[in-house]
Structure 1
Amino acid sequence: MEQSTTIEIKDNSFARQFETIIPEGLLTVEYSFQERKIFLTKINTPDEFQDEIFLDNLIRTILDNAIEQRLKVVPTYPRIVQFFKKNPQYKELLPPGIRI
C-alpha cells in the first residue's frame, strides 16, 4: 500500500487551480466548477518532476477535499482518469452517467 502524506495545497480560485510547492518548483492541478461538480482538467508539473507517488497523493488529497465539500468529480485529464482506475474506492465521486 502506498504511503499517504499530508500535502499542503493552496486553492488559487482566481487562476482556477490547486497549487503546491515542490523542490522542482510549482505543481498545479487546473479545475473548473459547474453546478456541484469539479472538473479536474490538467496537471502542470516542472519538467524534471518524476514522482508518481507524490502525484497520486496530491490527487488523493484533492479528492478527499471534494468528499468533504460533497462535490462530484469529473476527471478529464488522462493522468487523473488513470488514478480513478487504480483506486476504485473514489469512483463514488463520479457523477451519474460517467464511467471510467
Structure 2
Amino acid sequence: MERVTDNRAEAEFELAMGRHRAVAAYQMEGDTIVFTHTIVPKALEGRGVASKLIRAALDSARDRGLKVIPQCPFVAAFIEKHPEYRGLLK
C-alpha cells in the first residue's frame, strides 16, 4: 500500500503511486506549517489521492504540535469539510 512521506529536504509531503508522485508543498515558519500548493498528476486524479495526501500531512502537523496556514485552496477546502482539523488553524 502506498504511504505518504514527509520529504523535509524538499519541504513536500509525497505520495508515490507507480511512476507518478503527488505532492503537498509547504514552508515552515517556526511552529507553523504553511501549505502552499498541492499537485496531483492527471493520471492520479479522481482517486482520492489528494485527500489521502492532505489527511496524512495534517495528521503529521497535529502529531508535531504545529499550527497550519492553508494557503493552498485544496488544503483550505479539505479542512472546511473535515472539522476535526480546524483546531490546527492559526
Q: TM-score, normalised by structure 1?
A: 0.79
Post-superposition CA distance 1:60-97 (Å, at most 9, x none) = 111111111000011001111110110111100001xx
Aligned partner letter, 2:31:
R
Match of 1:73 in 2: 68
Higher helix share: 2
- For the residues of structure 2 that align with 1:24 and 1:47, how far apart are their CA atoms? 12
Regions of 4+ moved over 4 Å: none
Query: For residues 75 and 52 of structure 1, do their structure 2 counterparts lie closer, same or farther at Cα, with a shift above 3 Å needed?
Result: farther
Q: TM-score, normalised by structure 2?
A: 0.87
- For the residues of structure 1 that align with 2:14 and 2:36, how far apart are their CA atoms? 14
Match of 1:87 in 2: 82
Aligned partner letter, 2:59:
D
In structure 2, stretches of 5+ residues that fail to align are none
Superposition pairs of residues 1-100 of structure 1, within 5 angstroms: 7-23=2-18, 25-51=20-46, 53-95=48-90
- For the residues of structure 2 that align with 1:72 and 1:87, how far apart are their CA atoms? 16
- For the residues of structure 2 that align with 1:65 and 1:18, how far apart are their CA atoms? 10
| Shift of residue 56, structure 1, vs aligned partner | 1.3
Aligned partner letter, 1:8:
R
RMSD (Å), alpha carbons: 1.7
* Native 8 Å contact 1:66 1:72 kept in 2: yes
- For the residues of structure 1 that align with 2:19 and 2:77, how far apart are their CA atoms? 23
Q: Which structure has more RCO (C-alpha within 8 Å, separation ≥ 6)?
A: 2
How many residue pairs are counted as aligned between the two chains? 90
